[in-house]
Amino acid sequence: MKPSAAFPWSDVMAFGLGRLAWPPEQFWAATPREIAAALRAHQSEAGGATDRAALAALMAAHPDS
């Protein structure tokens, strides 16, 4: 059986405390699934810009007034 790699604490902490700017209490209270979900959401947002049609749909769904 192949040994598993060490958990990447420094990367996870840099993401949660740095990129997401979670306070330490929120970071340490988060479950691994919550942190993984936040990472997936962040990666999908960083994947590309919103196109005009998606922006128009968002603006229609959430008007300013």
Q: How does DSSP assign the chain, residue by residue? A: -PPPPPP-HHHHHIIIIIIS---HHHHHHS-HHHHHHHHHHHHHHHT-PPPHHHHHHHHHHS---
pLDDT at 12 > cutoff 70: yes
pLDDT for res 13:
93
pLDDT for res 7:
81
Task: For residue range 28-62, list pLDDT tens digits in order.
Answer: 999 989 999 998 888 876 655 667 887 788 788 88
pLDDT for res 17:
94
Q: pTM to 2 decimals?
A: 0.58
